[in-house]
Amino acid sequence: MATCSFEEARACVISAISGARRLPQVEEVALLEARGRVLAEDILADRDFPAVARSVRDGFAVRAADLPGTLEVIGEVRAGEAFQGKVEQGQAVEIMTGAPMPEGADAVVMVEHTTPEGPRIGTDRSLSPGENYNAAGSEAHAGDAVIARGAPLGFAEIAMAAAIGQVTLPVYVRPRVAILATGDELVDVADFPKPWQVRNSNSRSLAVQVASAGAIPWLLPVARDTYEATRVLIERGLEFDLLLISGGVSAGKYDVVENALADLGAEFYFNRVRIQPGQPAVFGRVGGKFFFGLPGNPLSGMVTFEVLARAALELIAGRATTALPLLWSRLGRELRQRTGLTRFVPACLSDDGATVAPAGSRSSGDIPAAVRANAWLATDPDREHYDAGELIRVMRKAS
């Protein structure tokens, strides 16, 4: 087993999953049920897009060679119609956005650039052929793959599928993910805990993260801190497509998860990552089933899922690629840290993404800080100090 940097751990996860994965089975679902699913086949355009040349402005369809000048208006054409005629020298057709270009016209002069002169219009503008309209097939040609296999389906993909007449879509069956929380201190969410107990919030937060990654979460009973109870539930969890274990992976006397996994024949890729929160993260597999051991502190589990386990799950679900959505923003105030670890700090990102500031987290168990935050700062492990105004990496908090 090994200790990895953040970059090494993430690369290890992606490499291991990519090298061993088998794509899920395929099912056909109605178009409006496909949101968030992963496309299982290329979807091809059934005709050119647009099918005819069409205006992208309200104005007048003209011959560019006639401009600037005064033109005779010989009719109009709206979206959903076709002009029955031809634009000849010195003529124009009033045209609306989305309407097909009349024969003979090769440009559109915008209405705000014209002056009405009775049955004529005047313009002092010059245009080049092709301005202000989209040529037939300029967006896609019939037979082009307009949505690629392995793409997650969002609103744009659903719009594209609808535009080419797809009533249903072939998608991969969603993977099932077992979530196993461990610890004698855990009680059910509905119970009122004693002072030394905590409610099992980790299973719920992980379930939401799993669902947002396109999979089906399955909550197992809590594993108490005994080898026997933990091993039985791990064996049950390994029947699923992926196993997430929350807690029991530190170095304490009652942290028995790794021993139970080892006795089941586990191959460990790493058991510690130089990040904070989340250092004691574990990744490996038993036979053909992968597992993650995520630290039990709530923020540690949230972070390690987002930066490590989400990538694995997206690939298992059939996505062609996976990427960590990091952007750059300017720090609103000074930040200091000890070097050696990549730190993911709950943070508040401005609406325009231009500035970011720590949300005031006190520990890796500070759920209120995670609620206040809408992002995570991602620090450089070799940087001890950031001045206010410096650029820093930021990861938006997934919903």
Q: What digits encode the pLDDT tens for the residues 294-341? A: 999 999 999 999 999 999 999 999 999 999 999 999 999 999 999 999
Give the pair of three-digit tokens for residue 252. 């304490």
Considering the domain architecture, whether residues 162 and 258 belong to the same structural domain is answered as no
For residues 130-147, average pLDDT: 97
Q: What is the pLDDT of residue 213?
A: 94
Burial of 267 (0-12, 13-18, 19+ CB in 10 A): middle
| Residues pairing with 170 in the sheet | 28
Of 152, 222, 148, nearest to 181 by C-alpha is: 222
CATH, residue 305? 3.40.980.10
For residue 124, tell me if it sits in a domain. Answer: yes
- From 258, 291, 316, the end of a domain falls on 316
Considering the domain architecture, whether residues 208 and 245 belong to the same structural domain is answered as yes
Confidence class of residue 248 from pLDDT cuts 50, 70 and 90? confident
For residue 143, tell me if it sits in a domain. Answer: no
Considering the domain architecture, whether residues 219 and 206 belong to the same structural domain is answered as yes
Q: Could you give phi then psi for residue 308, rounded to 5 degrees?
A: -125, -60
Considering the domain architecture, whether residues 189 and 266 belong to the same structural domain is answered as yes
Q: What is the pLDDT of residue 361?
A: 85
Q: What is the pLDDT of residue 249?
A: 77
Q: What is the pLDDT of residue 251?
A: 61
Distance CA 300, CA 261 (A): 21
For residue 95, tell me if it sits in a domain. Answer: yes
DSSP H stretches of helix in the chain: 6-20, 155-163, 201-212, 227-237, 257-263, 298-304, 310-316, 367-372
> Tell me, what DSSP letter sits at residue 392?
E
For residue 303, tell me if it sits in a domain. Answer: yes
For residue 219, tell me if it sits in a domain. Answer: yes
Q: What is the pLDDT of residue 250?
A: 66
For residue 144, tell me if it sits in a domain. Answer: no
Q: What is the pLDDT of residues 42-57, one digit of tens each?
A: 999 999 999 999 999 9
Assess contact for 394 and 337: CB atoms under 8 A: no
For residues 383-398, average pLDDT: 95
Cα-trace Rg, the chain = 29
Task: Flag whether pLDDT at 112 surpasses 70.
Answer: yes
Considering the domain architecture, whether residues 308 and 337 belong to the same structural domain is answered as no
- From 172, 202, 231, the end of a domain falls on 172
Q: What is the pLDDT of residue 2?
A: 86
Assess contact for 29 and 37: CB atoms under 8 A: yes
Q: What is the pLDDT of residues 179-217, one digit of tens each?
A: 999 999 999 999 998 999 999 999 999 999 999 999 999
The mean pLDDT value of the chain amounts to 95
Considering the domain architecture, whether residues 309 and 272 belong to the same structural domain is answered as yes
For residue 139, tell me if it sits in a domain. Answer: no
Considering the domain architecture, whether residues 252 and 312 belong to the same structural domain is answered as yes
CATH, residue 81? 2.170.190.11
CATH, residue 384? 2.40.340.10
Distance CA 330, CA 306 (A): 22
For residue 146, tell me if it sits in a domain. Answer: no
Considering the domain architecture, whether residues 195 and 310 belong to the same structural domain is answered as yes
Give the pair of three-digit tokens for residue 24. 């899920």
Q: Is the pTM of this model over 0.75?
A: yes
Lowest mean pLDDT among 25-39, 57-71, 241-255: 241-255
Q: What is the pLDDT of residue 255?
A: 74
Structural domain count of the chain: 4
Considering the domain architecture, whether residues 299 and 226 belong to the same structural domain is answered as yes
Considering the domain architecture, whether residues 108 and 221 belong to the same structural domain is answered as no
Task: Flag whether pLDDT at 282 surpasses 90.
Answer: yes
Q: What is the pLDDT of residue 362?
A: 83
Task: Flag whether pLDDT at 399 surpasses 80.
Answer: no
Domain that holds residue 34: 28-46+151-172
Considering the domain architecture, whether residues 179 and 306 belong to the same structural domain is answered as yes
Could you check whether the bond before residue 50 is cis, i.e. omega within 30 degrees of 0? Answer: yes
Considering the domain architecture, whether residues 126 and 162 belong to the same structural domain is answered as no
Give 162's contacts (C-beta < 8 A, 6+ positions apart): 31
Q: What is the pLDDT of residue 62?
A: 98
Q: Which 3 state secondary structure label does DSSP give 9?
A: helix
